[in-house]
Amino acid sequence: MAHKTIGMLIYANPDHYPPTINAVHLLSEHFDVVLIGRNQDPAIWKYPSNVKVHRLGKYTSVREREKQSLEAKLWEYINFVAQAQKLLKEVSLIYAYDYFAYTVAYFCLLLQPKGIPLIYHNHDLNEKLFPLSSLSGWVQRGERKWAHKANFVIFPSQERALFFKKLTNFLGKTMVVPNFPRKSYFQEHPNFPNLLLERFHNPQILLQGTVSVKNSLLELIESLDFLNQSIEIKLIGYIQEADKLVIRNFSITKNVAERVKYFPPVPYNDLPPHTWKASLGVCLYKKTGINHQTMGTASNKIYEYAACGLPVIVSDQPNYREHLANESWVRFADPDNPKSIASAVEDIMSDFNKYQAMCLAARQAFEEKYNYESAFYPLFKTIQELVCGSEVKNK
């Protein structure tokens, strides 16, 4: 019997979103996949052979698109809907990521001659409505009005699911799929024991992902004041130019400029070597919104650190405590207090035997429970049931 086909939509470059990449790989083991995204920034990820990737629209960078007029953005969106609808004619289920793709999927279903199941995966919540002078404002209102058309809405944390229901009066079905890495991708380092010794003797604190002064970055840098001179910070990810200038000046003022190293973002497939070489990872967010307060299961980087056997420092907040309090490889710190961050670093790096045990525990936890294969399985079974059900219904 020929494979059924799943249509996956994201109004961005799918190569930049690890949970999307992970879902595509796992679904492609059982279904053919039509993956539709925008033609923005370079195509960098190699997908399985039964995944047909369509990058719609004229090629531009994200920054170039942000500068377009509302009229240009609207016409691009309309064209995206029209092209996606043609590509999704023969699929058995549509899986849409975030509200731009979800509204595209909704319009596509209106034009379909038969009912097709729809999964909506919400990565990040928008607590406030954007103005109607922006495309985001119109699409966001469409998402809130039509969310009930989805068979399931997926969130990376239970707290976000509950908040979404309250925000939109959503009465439909939700499911939680944490943003864990894929075990088949983060395979164990072949020289792990020797790597731990190297890490311990050349201590490096790693922050990967979006680099922003809003996310306890200055507090992290200031923590170097209280730490051994050999300890450095490595920042890798996208940063706004204004924030880069603030970091540079702050590091100079604190006399730690030589110990703070910034690297531009790299493709997801080039990130693991950076993570393996670090000594410990940090995921520090202030209480600035529902997304930052619910990173206990929604943060990719916490579990990418664990996949590479890194101890992790996270914000001392209820959501993080709820999910990680019993993990021996995790330490908690006040994201507003440099001394608290420094104390957590010292605790991790104070003794090699302790450090080694934490590294091994992190890797074991990833292999046994904090991997995408385990997290995605309940949703995979649901998708199987929906696809089979829709096939029977449409005969």
Cite the DSSP H helix spans in 44-157: 62-66, 70-87, 98-110, 135-146
The answer to whether residues 53 and 74 touch, using CB atoms and an 8 Å cutoff, is no
Report the C-alpha gap between 112 and 123 in whole angstroms: 26
At the top level of CATH, which class does the domain 192-368 belong to? Answer: alpha beta
Q: What percent of the chain has pLDDT over 90?
A: 76
- What tens digit of pLDDT does each residue of 327-356 get? 999 999 999 999 999 999 999 999 999 999
As a whole number, mean pLDDT of residues 229-257 equals 93
Banded model confidence at residue 61, pLDDT cuts 50, 70, 90: confident
Among 1.10.540.10, 3.40.50.2000, 3.40.50.720, 3.30.9.10, what is the CATH number of 5-180+372-393? 3.40.50.2000
- What tens digit of pLDDT does each residue of 284-342 get? 998 888 888 888 999 999 999 999 999 999 999 999 999 999 999 999 999 999 999 99
**pLDDT of 392 strictly over 50:** no
Q: What percent of the chain has pLDDT over 70?
A: 98
Q: What is the pLDDT of residue 173?
A: 94
As a whole number, mean pLDDT of residues 147-168 equals 92
Identify the CA nearest to 9 among candidates 64, 59, 60, 56: 56
Q: What is the pLDDT of residue 168?
A: 85
Q: What is the pLDDT of residue 1?
A: 43
- What tens digit of pLDDT does each residue of 117-140 get? 999 999 888 888 899 999 999 999
**pLDDT of 113 strictly over 80:** no
In sequence order, which residues have a C-beta less than 8 Å from that of residue 316 and are 6 or more positions away?
A: 332, 333, 334, 335, 340
Q: Where are the CATH 3.40.50.2000 domain residues in the chain? A: 5-180+372-393, 192-368
**pLDDT of 361 strictly over 50:** yes
End-to-end, the C-alpha distance of the chain in Å comes to 16
Banded model confidence at residue 391, pLDDT cuts 50, 70, 90: low
Q: What is the pLDDT of residue 114?
A: 74
Banded model confidence at residue 390, pLDDT cuts 50, 70, 90: low
For all residues of the chain together, what is the average pLDDT? 92
Banded model confidence at residue 2, pLDDT cuts 50, 70, 90: low
Report the C-alpha gap between 248 and 264 in whole angstroms: 15
- What tens digit of pLDDT does each residue of 174-210 get? 999 999 999 999 998 988 989 999 999 999 999 998 8
Lowest-pLDDT choice from 276-280, 373-377, 391-395: 391-395
Query: Using CB atoms within 10 A of its CB, is residue 212 exposed (0-12), middle (13-18) or buried (19+)?
Result: middle
